[in-house]
């Protein structure tokens, strides 16, 4: 792939990272940490298993895999501050 394509894929991944943070927060509020964490881990497993395959198929498939990879990355920054607060309390969590 050329540099322009990789730059566009990285830029779309960054957008996915930012937008996914607004998605995962309400999902965790409505469900639970464990549900969201299992979902994110399943998505990451699928991303890791399909990454090599996606590069050989086409740039569009690679873009989709990278998009979901960055969606999972954004989820971690939303999930764990709430968990730390829940486990350690308001004084130690802050």
Task: Please give the radius of gyration of the chain, using alpha carbons only, rounded to the nearest integer.
Answer: 16
Is residue 59 pLDDT above 80, yes or no? Answer: yes
- Domain limits for position 12: 3-93
Instruction: Say what the alpha-carbon torsion angle 16, 57, 41, 89 is, to the nearest 10 degrees.
Output: -20
**pTM over the 0.95 mark:** no
Domain count, the chain: 1
- CA 2 to CA 8: how far, in whole Å? 10
Mean pLDDT, range 58-81, rounded to an integer = 91
Is residue 85 pLDDT above 70, yes or no? Answer: yes
Mean pLDDT, range 11-36, rounded to an integer = 91
- Please tell me the predicted confidence (pLDDT) of residue 91: 78
């Amino acid at each position: 792939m050329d540099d322009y394509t990789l730059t566009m894929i990285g830029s779309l991944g960054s957008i996915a990272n930012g937008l996914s943070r607004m998605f995962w927060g309400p999902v965790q509020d409505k469900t639970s940490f464990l549900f969201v964490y299992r979902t994110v881990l399943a998505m990451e497993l699928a991303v890791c298993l399909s990454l090599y395959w996606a590069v050989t198929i086409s740039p569009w498939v690679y873009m989709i895999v990278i998009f979901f990879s960055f969606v999972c990355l954004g989820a971690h920054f939303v999930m764990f501050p709430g968990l730390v607060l829940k486990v350690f309390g308001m004084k130690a969590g802050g």
